[in-house]
Amino acid sequence: MKGKRGLILGVANNRSIAWGIAKACHAQGAELAFTYQGDALERRVRPLAAEVGGHVVGHCDVTDPATMDAVFAETEKLFGKIDFVLHAIAFSDKDELTGRYVDTTEGNFTKSLLISCYSFTAIAQRAEKLMVDGGSLLTLTYYGAEKWMPHYNVMGVAKAALEASVRYLAADLGPKNIRVNAISAGPIKTLAASGIGDFRYILKWNEYNSPLRRTVTIDEVGDAGMYFMSDLSRGVTGEIHHVDAGYHVVGMKNPYAPDI
């Protein structure tokens, strides 16, 4: 990826999936710019960016369009054109990531869909202008978009909409050689995941029942992310690629799995 330059949105700390992808892109020679959400995360993101010789282009809260404009303006100043953008952003009120989906409030529904789904389109609008030689846009999704998962609730609905938007964005931007894909990652213990009810149970269930009999790491998702950001995937767009130890092909509980 020597000579490629990309913007990474969604690093919170060194357990973030975005960090796994950033490390893999850096290892192949890409030059990176990072955003952070708020002062508390800035303190975590700055040293991580320095570790990979990257740049920090500022605070970005996707509920505030002015901050998105500002980080893209800063990225343009820094890089001129860009080759890839990672969107690894999601949010729902923790109180609604437990219990029943039917109890979702209008306020949290709107906020979750804005942050977890629409923001990818908002980012794509801004990225398109800087991807003058084509490019790659990547987002992160989860199997809870396809099937019911306990506690995932409004986030499952947001991810389903996000996956549909990958296909629509791929069709819109394909003629400019801008590719749009998503990785559907298996469960990983991150800051965002800690808000999901019974997350330890979900991790164990995946470990016992996935074909590889384990969960995945941010480095494994990172390597797949690097493939999407690089020319290795130049013929691929509109794809939802599972990096989940094969869990999505399983139709039934492994009868030999221990009790959880």
- Give the residues lining the site for ligand NAD (CB under 6 A): 10-12, 16-18, 37, 41, 60-63, 88-91, 115, 140-142, 185, 187-188, 190-193
C-beta separation of 191 from 16 below 8 A: yes
Angstrom CA distances, 164 to 20, 70, 94, stand at: 25, 27, 24
The residue annotated as part of the active site, out of 142, 143, 227, 247, is 142
Please, which residue, 113 or 192, has the CB nearer to ligand NAD?
192
Residue 190 is labelled as binding a ligand: yes
Please, which residue, 19 or 79, has the CB nearer to ligand NAD?
19
Residue 89 is labelled as binding a ligand: yes
Q: Which long-range contacts (CB under 8 A, 24 or more apart) does 191-195 make?
A: 191/12, 191/13, 191/15, 191/16, 192/12, 192/90, 192/91, 195/92, 195/94, 195/97
Give yes or no: 227 in active site: no
Considering the complex, what minimum distance in angstroms separates the CB of residue 35 from ligand NAD? 7
From 94, 173, 180, select the one nearest 137 (Cα to Cα). 180
Please, which residue, 84 or 256, has the CB nearer to ligand NAD?
84
Considering the complex, what minimum distance in angstroms separates the CB of residue 115 from ligand NAD? 5
Considering the complex, what minimum distance in angstroms separates the CB of residue 255 from ligand NAD? 26
Give yes or no: 152 in active site: yes
C-beta separation of 245 from 206 below 8 A: yes
Q: Which helix (H) or strand (E) holds 19?
A: helix 17-27
Residue set of the binding site for NAD(+): 10, 16-17, 37, 61-62, 89, 159, 188-192
State the catalytic residues.
142, 152
